[in-house]
Amino acid sequence: MDHLVSPSLLAADFGNLHKEISMVNNSQADWIHLDIMDGLFVPNISFGFPVIEYVRKTAKKPLDVHLMIVDPDRYLSRFRDAGAGILTVQYEACIHLHRTVSEIRDLGMKAGVALNPHTPVSLLKNILPFIDMVLIMTVNPGFGGQSFIMESYNKIAELRNMIDAGGFKVLIEVDGGIDTSNASRLVGAGVNVLVAGHSVFSSPDPADTIRRLKTPG
């Protein structure tokens, strides 16, 4: 499978959000990534259901929603109703992770689990059969524009081996410090989905940056 690109709207110009979404619609991007932050799980607040619903009305790509919030179980059906196609929860925020990802799937969405940089991938061993994607955070979550944590390559390699050895159909997504300088190495390491925010929306030509992320080399 060719890798996917999921531009993160966290870095978009919200004063021109319709224009930004239209650019993504007309680009080679595959998904639109939405980071939901509550100011508790991470030290930042992003946006909520009204923004997601607006994006859904305008977007022609699936919405790839990442919840960086405490107690995400309270809102799973609301995120489905708001337009999420892929819903990712933080491993560290879920007390009953199997129950959470099972409900996400029962609601008709793809289920993802995200790991903070300090969380080992070995903890996912018993949940891989029940999910569709793992999101490796390659920066500390909460803010865009951070530098890629190089240790992430070892985590990606370990996770790739776990998935392949078990024969699981689980995508590997990465988010944080992703740009055209490391996209090729990440894809070569086994990454399936590249999330890029700052490197796309701060580019002089965002659509061309997306194209380069889709065809790194």
Residues annotated as catalytic are 35, 175
Helix, strand and coil content of the chain, in percent to the nearest 5, comes to 40, 20, 35
Residue 128 neighbours by CB under 8 Å, 6+ apart: 134, 162, 163, 166, 168, 170
90 φ, ψ (degrees, to nearest 5): -80, 130
- The identity of residue 130, as a single letter, is F
Contact 35, 67 (CB under 8 A): no
- CB atoms inside a 10 Å sphere around CB 153: 18
Contact 195, 162 (CB under 8 A): no
Q: How many residues does the chain have?
A: 217
- CB atoms inside a 10 Å sphere around CB 26: 11
- Give the integer Cα–Cα distance in Å for 66 and 70: 12
- Give the integer Cα–Cα distance in Å for 203 and 197: 10
